[in-house]
């Protein structure tokens, strides 16, 4: 059965067919009259809470929720160097991974590779399997946008010098190893934590 995780600011909304066995406090929402737009408006921008919708068919529930949003597709990469370090960028005062919107007629995997190369000035050697996909919701003007991002495992030859794409708001690009991730974890997005978990960095 498919379960979904949707990020709204620092909050997380799960859609699943049963309550997870977990330590964190999670608020169960009423499925019957659930209005995603109203929920989005009421979710605090500063809190870090977890919510869950328990539904026998999570996919059906997710599709219903998707109808109230405009879908934007994006792709990015978790890039590893020959030295075993990983590529991180610093954008909008937060640590992040390189990613960007999929262009018309472009495949998700190709978009991920292009975006990483453009944002960091590197040449990708291998673009391997999909690590995971993340969903997050935000407003664009008066519209609610659901951004679906596919994340791929990538490698480079050696450990090239990084050139951050300043016009995309990237002020820094760095190679970091697993022992240097503390500042990243303290100042990143919940979706990036999910990617790092899938990539076995955490």
pLDDT tens per residue across span 14-48: 999 998 877 678 999 999 989 999 999 999 777 88
* CB-based contacts of 12, cutoff 8 Å, min separation 6: 5, 6, 49, 50, 51, 190
Which pLDDT score, from 0 to 100, does residue 46 have? Answer: 73
Q: Give pLDDT tens digits for 86-100.
A: 999 999 999 999 999
| Distances, alpha carbon 27 to alpha carbons 19, 138, 167, in Å | 10, 21, 40
Mean local confidence (pLDDT), 134-151: 96
Q: What value, to the nearest 5°, has the Cα angle with vertex 54 and ends 53 and 55?
A: 110
Q: For the chain, list the strands marked E by DSSP.
A: 4-8, 11-16, 26-28, 50-54, 70-80, 86-91, 94-96, 99-101, 126-140, 143-155, 170-176
Query: Are 144 and 40 contacting, i.e. CB atoms less than 8 angstroms apart?
Result: yes
Mean local confidence (pLDDT), 62-78: 97
Percentage of the chain modeled with pLDDT above 70 = 99
pLDDT at 60 over 70: yes
Which has the closest alpha carbon to 35: 13, 2, 57?
13
Mean pLDDT across the chain, nearest whole number? 95
Query: Are 78 and 84 contacting, i.e. CB atoms less than 8 angstroms apart?
Result: no
Which has the closest alpha carbon to 98: 86, 81, 106, 82?
86
Percentage of the chain modeled with pLDDT above 90 = 91
The runs of H, that is alpha helices, within the chain are: 36-42, 58-66, 108-120, 182-186, 190-198
Which pLDDT score, from 0 to 100, does residue 52 have? Answer: 95
Which pLDDT score, from 0 to 100, does residue 1 have? Answer: 62
Which pLDDT score, from 0 to 100, does residue 34 have? Answer: 94
Which pLDDT score, from 0 to 100, does residue 148 have? Answer: 98
Q: Give pLDDT tens digits for 175-194.
A: 999 999 999 999 999 999 99
The owner of tokens 């921008």 is: 45
């Amino acid at each position: 059965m498919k379960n979904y995780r949707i990020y709204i600011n620092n909050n997380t909304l799960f859609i699943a067919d049963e309550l997870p066995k977990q330590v964190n406090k999670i608020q169960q929402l009423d499925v019957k009259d659930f209005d995603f737009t109203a929920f989005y408006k009421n979710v605090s921008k500063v809190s870090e809470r977890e919510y869950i919708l328990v539904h026998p068919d999570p996919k059906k529930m997710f599709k219903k929720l998707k109808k109230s949003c405009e879908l934007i597709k994006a792709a990015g990469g978790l890039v590893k160097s020959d030295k075993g370090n990983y590529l991180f960028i610093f954008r909008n005062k937060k640590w992040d991974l390189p990613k960007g919107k999929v262009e018309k007629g472009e495949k998700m995997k190709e978009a991920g590779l292009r975006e990483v190369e453009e944002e960091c000035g590197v040449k990708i050697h291998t673009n391997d399997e999909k690590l995971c996909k993340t969903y997050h919701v935000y407003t664009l003007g008066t519209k609610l946008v659901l951004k679906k991002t596919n994340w791929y495992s990538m490698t480079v030859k050696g450990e090239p010098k990084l050139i951050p794409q300043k016009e995309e708001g990237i002020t820094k690009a760095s190679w970091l190893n697993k022992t240097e991730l503390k500042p990243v974890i303290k100042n990143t997005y919940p979706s990036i934590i999910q990617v790092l978990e899938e990539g076995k960095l955490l």
